[in-house]
C-alpha cells in the first residue's frame, strides 16, 4: 500500500535527507515486491530497468561456473541496493 511504501522510504538510510516533495515523487513511482525463498529477482540475461532496495531479509548474488557449481559473489541485506 501507499503507507507501506512511505514507511519503507523513510526507513532507508539513503533517503533520510531527501526533500519532502522528492520523497512524495518517489513514493508515487515506487512499489514493494515480495520474493519467496530461492526466487530470482534479476538474472544476467535480462536488462535491469529499476533500482531495488532490500527492506527485509537478504538477497544472494550468485552465478554458476562451467560445471554448474554455485558461486556466491555477495549477500545484500537491509538497505542495500541493486540495479
23-59 confidence digits (pLDDT tens)? 889 889 999 999 999 898 988 888 888 999 999 999 9
Q: How many CB atoms lie within 10 A of CB 53?
A: 19
Percent of the chain with pLDDT over 90: 40
Residues 6+ apart with CB under 8 A from 8: 30, 32, 53, 55
| Confidence at residue 77, expressed as pLDDT on a 0 to 100 scale | 94
Contact between 73 and 50 (Cβ < 8 Å): no
The span from the CA of 74 to the CA of 69, in Å, is 16
Q: How much is the pTM?
A: 0.80
Give the per-residue pLDDT at 23. Answer: 87
pLDDT at 81 over 80: yes
Amino acid at each position: 500500500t501507499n503507507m507501506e511504501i512511505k514507511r519503507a522510504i523513510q526507513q532507508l538510510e539513503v533517503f533520510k535527507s531527501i526533500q519532502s516533495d522528492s520523497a512524495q515523487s518517489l513514493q508515487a513511482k515506487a512499489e514493494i515486491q515480495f520474493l519467496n525463498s530461492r526466487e530470482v529477482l534479476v538474472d544476467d540475461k535480462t536488462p535491469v530497468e529499476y533500482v531495488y532496495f532490500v527492506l527485509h531479509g537478504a538477497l544472494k548474488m550468485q552465478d554458476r561456473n562451467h560445471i554448474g557449481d554455485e558461486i556466491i559473489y555477495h549477500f545484500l541485506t537491509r538497505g542495500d541496493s541493486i540495479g
